[in-house]
Amino acid sequence: MIIARICQKILIVLIFTACIFPCQGKSEQRGGRVEWGRLKTSDKNWDRHAETDQVMLNFIREHTTFDIEPYWHSADVEDLNQLCSYPLLYSQGIQTLSTTQAKKNLEEYLRRGGFLFIDACSNTFVTPDPDIFLTEQTAMFHEILPGSSIQRLPDDDLIYDNFFHIEGGLPHSYMENIYNPDWAKHGLYCVTFEERVIGLISLSGLKCGWAKFNFPVSHHIRCMQMMVNIYIYALAH
Amino acid sequence: MEWQFGGWLANWPTAVQWSVLAALFLMAVAATFLSYRSTRLSFWSLMILLSLRIFFLLGLIICLANPRRLERLANELSGHILSVVVDRSESMIITDSRGRSRLDDACRKWMLLREKAEKRFDSVRFGSFAGKYLPSQSWEDALKAKSEDKTHLYGALLEVLDATPLSGQREIVCLTDGLDTTSMATDGLVARALATHTPLWFVVGENRQRTKDFLQFREFKVPSQVLRKTTFTCIGVLEAFSAHPRQISISLWQDGRKLHDFPIELPAGPTLIPLRETISAADPGEMVLEWRVGNQNEAEVRHEVRIIDRSNLDILYYQGALDWGFRSMHTLLMRDPSYHFTAILNPRLGVNLQLKTNARKTSDGLPESVAELKKFQVVIVENLFANQLSTAQQEALRAYAEEGGALFFIIPNKEATAALENTKIAEMLPVVFESPGTENAATAKSRGIQNLHPSGSLNAGSPSTITLQPFAFPEESSLAPLLKTTDATGTPKRLTPKFATYAPIQRSKSGAEILGLHPNDREPTSNKPRILLAAQRYGKGRIAVMATDSLWRWKLSEPSDSRDVEIFWQQWIFWLAQSSVKILQFIDPPIRTIVNQTSMLTVNALVAPTLTATDPNGKALDLPAEHEPKTGYWKAAWKPECAGHWQITASDPEGRQARIFVNVDSQLTQSADLANLPSQVERLRELGEATGGGLLEHKLPEAWGAANMEKDLFPEKSFALWNSWNILLACLALYSAELLLRRRWQMI
Give B461's contacts in chain A (Cβ within 8 Å). 47, 50, 72-74
Decide: B595 and B585 in contact? Cβ < 8 Å.
no
pLDDT of residue A141: 97
pLDDT band at A91 (very low <50, low <70, confident <90, very high): very high
User: Least CA distance to A161: which residue of chain B?
Assistant: B352
Which residues from chain A sit within 8 angstroms of residue B436, using beta carbons? 25, 27
B413 shares contact with chain A (CB less than 8 Å): yes
Contacts of residue B349 in chain A, CB cutoff 8 Å? 64-65
Burial of B54 (0-12, 13-18, 19+ CB in 10 A): middle
**Residue A8 pLDDT class (50, 70, 90 cuts):** low
Tell me what pLDDT residue A22 has: 43
Q: For A156-162, what is the mean pLDDT?
A: 92
Rounded-to-integer distance, Cα B717 and Cα B426, Å: 11
pLDDT of residue B323 exceeding 80 = yes
Which of A25, A33, A65 is nearest residue B449 as measured by Cβ atoms? A33
> Does residue B712 surpass a pLDDT of 60?
no
In this prediction, residue A214 carries a pLDDT of: 66
Residue A236 has what pLDDT?
Answer: 87
pLDDT of residue A59: 94
Q: Which residues of B touch A236 (CB under 8 A)?
A: 326-327, 330, 353, 355
Instruction: Answer with the residue of higher pLDDT: B660 or B299.
Output: B660
Q: How confident is the model at residue B77 (pLDDT cuts 50, 70, 90)?
A: very low
* Residue B226 to residues B69, B307, B345, B436, Cα–Cα distance (Å): 49, 5, 32, 40
User: How many Cα atoms are found within 13 Å in the side-chain-facing hemisphere of B386?
Assistant: 24
**Taking 70 as the threshold, does the pLDDT of residue B705 lie above it?**
no
Please compute the mean of the pLDDT values over residues B367-388 and round it to a whole number.
88
Q: Which of residues 477-506 of B touch A (CB under 8 A)?
A: 500-501
pLDDT in tens, B533-559: 999 888 778 899 999 999 999 999 999
At B729-743, the pLDDT tens digits run 888 899 899 989 888
> What number of CA atoms fall less than 13 Å from residue B238's CA on the CB side?
25
Which whole-number Å values give the CA distances from B127 to B19, B101, B174, B228, B679, in the listed order?
53, 19, 9, 49, 21
Helix axes of A53-63 and A217-236: crossing angle, nearest 10 degrees: 70
Closest CA to A162 of A209, A229, A108, A216: A229
What is the spatial distance between Cα A170 and Cα A187, in angstroms, rounded to a whole number?
6
- Residues B27-44 have pLDDT tens digits of 988 988 888 877 778 888
The reported pLDDT for the residue numbered B437 is 60
Query: pLDDT (tens digit, 9 = 90+) per residue, A57-89?
Result: 999 999 999 999 989 999 999 999 999 999 999
Q: Kindly give the pairing relationship between strand B492-494 and strand B541-546.
A: unpaired
**Average pLDDT score over chain B:** 81
Instruction: Report the range out of A157-161, B264-268, B655-659, B719-723 with the highest average pLDDT.
Output: A157-161
List of chain B residues whose C-beta atoms are within 8 Å of the C-beta of residue A24: 7, 66, 720, 722-723
pLDDT recorded at residue A26: 36
**Across A20-29, B146-155, B497-506, which has the greatest mean pLDDT?**
B497-506
pLDDT value at residue B708: 37
Q: Measured between alpha carbons, how far is A126 from A119 in angstroms, rounded to an integer?
A: 12
* CB–CB contact A236 B327 (8 Å): yes
Percentage with pLDDT > 90 across chain B: 23
**Using one digit for the tens of pLDDT, what is the confidence trace for B9-20?**
766 777 888 888
Interface predicted TM-score of the whole assembly (ipTM), two decimals? 0.86
Residue-level pLDDT at B581: 56
**In DSSP terms, which residues pair with B290 in a beta bridge?**
B253, B302
B75 pLDDT more than 60 = no
pLDDT exceeds 50 at position B714: no
pLDDT score, position A3:
65
A-B CB pairs within 8 A amount to 184
A215 vs chain B: nearest CA distance in angstroms?
A: 23
Q: Quick one: what percent of chain A has pLDDT higher than 90?
A: 65
Tell me how close the Cα of A231 comes to any Cα of chain B, in angstroms.
10
Lowest average pLDDT, out of A46-55, B228-237, B307-316, B359-368, goes to B359-368
DSSP conformation class of B101: B
| Model confidence pLDDT, tens digit, residues B580-613 | 555 688 887 888 888 888 888 988 887 789 999 9
Residues 690-729 of B with CB under 8 A from A: 720, 722-723, 728
- Chain B partners within 8 Å of A67 (Cβ): 321, 413
List Cα–Cα distances, B625 to B579, B601, B612, B613, B636, in angstroms.
Answer: 21, 9, 10, 12, 5
Higher local confidence (pLDDT), B186 or B517? B517
pLDDT reported for residue A18: 55
Task: Output the pLDDT for position B90.
Answer: 83
Determine the pLDDT at residue B699. Answer: 83
* A29: nearest CB among B385, B464, B558: B385
Residues above pLDDT 70, as percent of chain B = 83
The model's pTM: 0.66
The confidence band for B627, taking pLDDT boundaries of 50, 70 and 90, is confident
A167-171, B249-253, B459-463: the lowest-pLDDT one: B459-463
Q: Please report, rounded to a whole number, the percentage of residues in chain A having pLDDT higher than 70.
A: 87
Q: For residue B212, is pLDDT > 80?
A: no
Residue B69 pLDDT greater than 70, yes or no: no
Q: Give, as one character, the DSSP assignment of residue B73.
A: P
